[in-house]
Amino acid sequence: MENIQIALLNDSFIINRGLQFIFNKIKGIHLSPICTQWSELENILDKQTIDIILINNHTFITDSNVSKAYKTLPNIRWAILEVEDIEINSLFNFEFKISIYDNELYLINKLNTFVENKTHLHNISSSIFELSEREKEILRQVALGLTNSEIADKLFISQHTVITHRKNITSKLGIKTISGLTVYALLNDFINMDDVNELK
Amino acid sequence: MIRSNIKMADVIIQNHHLLAIINRFGIKLGFGEQTVAEVCSSYNIPVEFFLEIVNAFNDPDFFPKKNMYSFPLSLIIDYLFKAHDYYINVKVPEIKGLIEKVTKTKDIKTQKAVLLIQAFFNEYADQLKKHIKREEEKVYPYILELENVFDSKEQNKINEFKSKYNFRIDDYAIEHEDIEEKLYDIKNLIIKYISPKDNYIIYFKILGQLAHLEEDINDHSEMENKVLIPRVRIMEKAIYN
């Protein structure tokens, strides 16, 4: 799993340096870029993939550019840095909230838990429903009509491994027959019609 | 649970899929206020047998009662023959026709996908036909003759039967599964991987018909696996020991 890329938007240089110090201790998060103004961050958004914008609650409420961005950037999620004692409407959705008054241990725990949950969720979605690269390779061979032993020879793995992969493929896709897997592979461009015709 | 003293009309109103079943018994609509027992007797159908069949179809957990074991196998096989006819001559052409309609879409991507599904369904239909042909030409005659010989209890007939066939019912019992799985896969592939831009209603119809056929065929194999095959095994055991 790649690092979660978090951009920081907060106007205090000192606080930003402090946050950078703390975030450096968290595995799985990369805090960059660090900006003090929205216009600065806006330029970077086009060029760099950013998962989450961590923004102070004062700016979030008062800067109209930010509220517009909240509505219009579909792939970006938000997190709040509490610098002032103000409430934000609960309809806004945040990944996490931290406060400049949180102590170090508390912050580290909170961020570690956040990363763990994210990584975990990511793994579940890809391992339960999506095929791994290896499984796609096996599927391709099955769809082309190769037997388990032929696949094993071709990919230098044991037949037992091939069977395990095939079981996983079937349970992920819910497709049981070879013809069904072939149609699936064609529909999703894992193989093309020419490959199939060549066989006949 | 459907019983002999309720109105036949209510049976159909409750589950219209049973229309396909009563059709196999040759029963026509227009039964007025007649009960199941009355309708069956006017068509010369043993009512107990009729009830076993419709209840098995109506409720997937229904297990045929012991009295299913008392009907002549020829009665059950006659029913299975008629079910085959319905699959091959009614259901399959109906679904083929619907799939043909959606292949005419102008959306190239959908068309490519639908053509694959069409090829898959045709493959399935061919396999189903072959399977049915084998049952009708090989398996059912074997069972009917076995029953005859078994009932006659004449040793010379039994010996003649034994020398004629080197076939046992278990050679054929496993073959069913793949056919049911293909139908399931076709349905699954349509639901998950075809996103039509037009003809939505036809897709719903296709899925409905596929589900209907699947349900009917599952019921059909239940009948074979729970009633026909166990009874054949018993007779085989008696004859070959």
Q: Supply the pLDDT for residue A28.
A: 87
Residue ranges in B59-194 assigned as alpha helix (H):
73-86, 92-102, 108-134, 140-152, 155-164, 170-173, 176-193
Q: Supply the pLDDT for residue A128.
A: 62
Domain ranges of chain B: 8-58, 72-240
Is A179 close to B185, i.e. CB distance below 8 A? Answer: yes
Q: Supply the pLDDT for residue B177.
A: 59
Give pLDDT < 50 ranges for chain A: 124-125
Q: Does B71 touch chain A (CB under 8 A)?
A: no
Q: Supply the pLDDT for residue A199.
A: 55
Give residue B204's pLDDT band: very low, low, confident or very high (50, 70, 90). very high
Distance from CA of A170 to the nearest CA of B (A): 11
Q: Supply the pLDDT for residue B174.
A: 58
Is B181 close to A174, i.e. CB distance below 8 A? Answer: no
Q: How far is CA A159 from CA A5, A140, A152, B120, in A?
A: 41, 16, 5, 28
In terms of Cβ atoms closer than 10 Å to its own Cβ (0-12, 13-18, 19+), residue B80 is: buried
Nearest CA in chain B to A178: B182
Domains of chain A (ranges, CATH numbers):
4-129 (3.40.50.2300), 133-199 (1.10.10.10)
Q: Does B126 touch chain A (CB under 8 A)?
A: no
Considering only B38-47, B98-107, B156-165, which range has the smallest mean pLDDT?
A: B156-165
In terms of Cβ atoms closer than 10 Å to its own Cβ (0-12, 13-18, 19+), residue B68 is: buried
The set of residues, in sequence order, having a beta carbon less than 8 Å from that of B174 and lying 6+ positions away, is none
Number of CB pairs < 8 Å for A and B? Answer: 38
pLDDT at B64 exceeding the cut of 80: no
Sign of the C-alpha dihedral, residues B177, B112, A184, A119?
negative
Q: Supply the pLDDT for residue A198.
A: 62
Is A186 close to B116, i.e. CB distance below 8 A? Answer: yes
Is B189 close to A180, i.e. CB distance below 8 A? Answer: yes
Q: Supply the pLDDT for residue A121.
A: 57
Query: Is the preceding peptide bond at B141 cis, omega within 30 degrees of 0?
Result: no
Distance from CA of B103 to the nearest CA of A (A): 15
**Which is more confidently placed, B177 or B220?**
B220
CB count within 10 Å of CB B188 equals 17
Which residue, among B178, B189, B194, would best test binding to A if mutated, counting the most A CBs under 10 Å from its CB? B189
High-pLDDT (> 90) share of chain B, %: 54
CB count within 10 Å of CB B56 equals 21
Instruction: Return residues 20-79 of A near B (CB < 8 Å).
Output: none
Is A183 close to B123, i.e. CB distance below 8 A? Answer: no
Is B120 close to A183, i.e. CB distance below 8 A? Answer: yes
Which residue, among B185, B190, B193, would best test binding to A if mutated, counting the most A CBs under 10 Å from its CB? B185
The ipTM (two decimal places) reads 0.79
Cα separation, A55 vs A34, in Å, equals 10
Q: Supply the pLDDT for residue A73.
A: 82
Mean pLDDT computed over every residue of chain B? 89
Nearest CA in chain A to B123: A179
pLDDT at B97 exceeding the cut of 60: yes
What's the DSSP call for residue B71?
S
Q: Supply the pLDDT for residue B211.
A: 93
What is the CB-side half-sphere exposure of residue B212 using CA atoms within 13 A? 21
Is B113 close to A176, i.e. CB distance below 8 A? Answer: no
Q: With contact defined as beta carbons under 8 Å apart, do A25 and A73 qualify? A: no
High-pLDDT (> 70) share of chain B, %: 95
Q: Which of A176, A183, A187 is closest, CB to CB, to B184?
A: A176
Q: Does A188 touch chain B (CB under 8 A)?
A: yes
The pLDDT of B222-229, averaged and rounded, is 84
Distance from CA of B177 to the nearest CA of A (A): 10
